[in-house]
Amino acid sequence: MINHDVIIIGAGLAGLTAAYNLAKEEVDVKVFDRLPKSGILDHPCGCMVSPVPNSITFKNSSEGILYKEVDFLFTEDMILEYPGKMEFIMPNGCKFGMAIENPQDEQIFQIDKEKVLIELAERAEREGAQLEYGTNVSKLLIEKGQVKGILASGQQVRSHLVLSGEGLSRRFSYQAGLFDSDPEAYIFSYAVHLLDLHLKKEEIGQIGYFGENLVQIPKSSVIFHSYGDDKALILISVLLDEYKWFFDKSVEEYLLNAISKVPFLEEIYKRGKAYEKNACWMKIAKPKKLVDHGFIGMGDSVAPLGHSSNSIAMLMGKEAANTAIEALQTQDYSYSALKSYNKWLESDLFGGVEFEAKLIMTLLNFSDSDLNKICNAFEGINLEPFFIGSRWDIIKASLKLLFKKRILKNWKLIRQLF
């Protein structure tokens, strides 16, 4: 007996976008989420959104910014800030990164994710989607190699298709066979969230501090990320070979010790009020496919770094819904019927996520000496094209850099980044 046409695991950006697009076409869709209500974000997130040439486009309006591809309006009250700074600070104090002169003109902004998730949930329900919170999905129901539903709070719930927007855990993506090997590495992150900061304009943005000396743990970094002008998080990330914490002290002790060594972070930490702490594990692995018989993976559950961007997650949700609708129309839920969705694996969008993954992992693997050399090569150069530019922008910027002596001098190291 089929309980629903489509079951979605996870009421995040991808899952709720998929639910809305399915329900709009009168598909019987039900979303299950382990969290108690909509709008909860239980892991650290920078909440940034940005356009991608030829793929993700935004349109300004009097009410906010319309994400055209998924037909979602980020209203003015959902937009926290237009940050224009991303810096990487190395052990010797040298820094490099990108500075966007007019981020509002570039439509690069930071969202209030709680408000966005609540609106996504409400619009899905308005179209007829069923949302069930506080329910733990423990496993997929697989019969003769095909996903047939889920086990939720001990009860079997059956469907023609299961879409997973489960997020960072990736349990169901692995169970469905989308990955053919264990993760090559893990990133463990722990964050302290602060409020009542009253940040100055020059304090708004993202700053990453790298080097073993700072944290006293190999392959680690500390990141400051503002939320609007009154909130921020300070985050420690550690690259690990195994899925476990095996250092002498707690992760919070290492973070607080690092904060005390950086005057800016120490002042921010003392100025603000800690109101939340959370952590997450990211599994560094690229899937071999995004679908299998009766199953489609979306967003963080399949992205190369272990997480996708906010805008990519929403777009994947919409395209997963379109793929599911086509399968329902033909009543064919096989891999062959769903495999067109695998185009994401070779897309420029996934390529951008992989670039970010390689950059972060390489920086975490570098020795303090190599970090300083990289910074000396890039200091004073705005790397904006590499983060938000088109492919042509990146080519032009790369050609310009090739003629700089300090780039050529450190070329072997730089090649590892890009």
pLDDT in tens, 323-341: 999 999 999 999 999 999 9
pLDDT at 390: 66
Percentage of residues of the chain with pLDDT beyond 90: 72
Say which residues have a Cβ less than 8 Å from residue 243's Cβ, sequence separation at least 6: 183, 186, 281, 283
* Residue 267 pLDDT level (bands cut at 50, 70, 90): very high
pLDDT at 340: 97
pLDDT at 259: 98
| Amino acid symbol at 253 | E
pLDDT at 386: 72
Strand 206-210 with 85-89, pairing: parallel
Burial degree of 228 (CB within 10 A; 0-12, 13-18, 19+): middle
Task: Answer yes or no: is pLDDT of 272 > 80.
Answer: yes
- Phi (first) and psi of residue 41, to 5 degrees: -115, 115
Report DSSP letters for 44-113, one per residue: ----EE--BTTTB-EEEETTEEEEGGGTEEEEGGGEEE---EEEEE-TTS-EEEEE-S-TTTTT-EEE-H
pLDDT at 389: 66
Q: What is the dihedral of CA 194, 260, 360, 79, to 10 degrees?
A: 20
Strand 273-284 with 185-195, pairing: antiparallel
pTM: 0.93
- Residue that has been written with the tokens 């609540």 in this structure: 118
* Residue 308 pLDDT level (bands cut at 50, 70, 90): confident
Task: Answer yes or no: is pLDDT of 39 > 90.
Answer: no
Torsion over CA: 169, 171, 172, 177 (sign):
positive
pLDDT in tens, 381-407: 887 777 766 667 777 777 777 778 888
Task: Answer yes or no: is pLDDT of 120 > 90.
Answer: yes
401 three-state secondary structure = helix
- Phi (first) and psi of residue 297, to 5 degrees: -100, 145
Whole-angstrom distance, CA of residue 8 vs CA of residue 14: 10
pLDDT in tens, 214-252: 989 999 999 999 999 999 999 999 999 999 998 989 999
Higher pLDDT, 140 or 303: 140
pLDDT at 388: 66
In the structure encoding, which two tokens stand for residue 193, read together?
A: 């969230």
Torsion over CA: 104, 110, 114, 118 (sign):
positive
Task: Answer yes or no: is pLDDT of 354 > 90.
Answer: no
Say which residues have a Cβ less than 8 Å from residue 64's Cβ, sequence separation at least 6: 73, 74, 75, 76, 78, 79
Domains, the chain, with CATH or none = 4-47+112-181+287-346 (3.50.50.60), 185-284 (3.30.9.10), 362-415 (no CATH)
Q: What is the mean pLDDT of the segment spanning 56-77? A: 96
* Residue 40 pLDDT level (bands cut at 50, 70, 90): confident
